[in-house]
Chain A
Amino acid sequence: MNETDARARIATDFPDAVVAAGGPAITVTLPAPQWRAFARFVKDTVGCRFFSFLSAVDWKDEGLEVIAYVENTDEHVCVLFKTRLGAGQTACESLLPVYRGADWMERECFDMFGVIFDGHPDLRRMLLPDDWVGHPLLKSYAVDTPYPPYR
């Protein structure tokens, strides 16, 4: 499915989603409950089988925003989809049932931002030590928190 058809299908199948005009990738802003359903759609229908990355943005008072980027490498269709979890919310649907590649990405996102991915079977810390306290890429994390004897 090429990019024009993909945009049309997204507009008909997901009327709540906001699709940005133009850009190098199809940028879709979703309501949070449609997160996994959209990933399933974009993998099976649009054919984006390559899971590029998953990350998050901390918008302070407005809460966390989770971002994923998938590509259809055959027809060069790239889809960037993101969702706002809401102020103070950390729960998000896991993409692991759809993409195996989301496993370590979601673990890293949990590690750095504290996003709890529902449906992830093994949500442990990815990069930081197991006894680390806090999630350091949140804006509210104090970098000078004592960590004797190292900091």
Chain B
Amino acid sequence: MSSLQELQGRKGRPITDQDAREISRVEELSYDLKIYETMTREVKTVQPNSTMQNVLEILRTGRISGAPVTEGTRLVGIVSIEDLVRALEQNNVNAPISDYMSRNVVSIAEYEPVVRAIETFSKYRVGRLPVVDENGSLTGIITKGDITRGILTALQKDYKEEELRRYRASHLFEDITSERTSLILRYTIRAGDYATGGQASSHIKRALLRLGAPPQLARQCGIAIYEAEMNLVIHTTHGGVIRVQIEPHRILMQTTDDGPGIANVQLAQQAGWSTAPQEARDMGFGAGMGLVNMRHCVDKLEIESAAGKGTKLLMEILLRPEEQFKNDPPKPEPNSGG
């Protein structure tokens, strides 16, 4: 969103250094982005032997202004709204498309950068280009709208939002003066919800990256909490809660649930031991490696559980000096006695 707003807000004022950087990034992207990355893949095509009436219906229902003509997958022509108007003027809508289509089709190869498409649009004064692979088979169609969308998406994805968020969050600990600052993240996990299971872990990993954690640390925490989150999804009766406490020098990750509990905690920690149902196994989980993996990622792991009661899992990662979040401890009061 922010890139779009900024592009619009640029109108009518002098170009700043920031603008200049943005523009050059757009230019760069027009070389970097390939046609196949931004083209539309679902193309409405017509056959040369069907009628112009057919073209009329396709243009109307698809709300488009032209369609490629193909024989099999091979591109043989293009038929546009102008061709249709000619057929209507001559009262000849039942004529085959091959009578009205243009055969000299300008097309573009899918591996070309989008800048080639921009050049071709202005050179031939066309608004859309059929896209072909190296065998001349039609694989998509590209318009100026597709290119604008592709560039904006790339700009947005690559940079802006994430950079900005990261910048804001990474100063959180530094900006707050306290003897002991900690940030607590809390998520409720539903039992048996395989579709959204893992989402909380994904948010946790992203939060750590935004706070300025090194990628290796975020990955370690992400893997450990993801295994724990999937355990809540797979094994609990009513789901559970994830609580992550981030402090400048350590990360505490905790899951709690209210049952069914683990009968033999020691056995559960053995590699390969599992009580997971088939559904979990079908998803690639339940091989009895979860707790083993978690232990591998953290400095301390504790499980408190009993059959019929709930389970509490606690994981702690102590941060090495270079991994620690920068914080601002209170300055000691100057000594009044001198």
Q: Do A and B originate from a single complex?
A: no
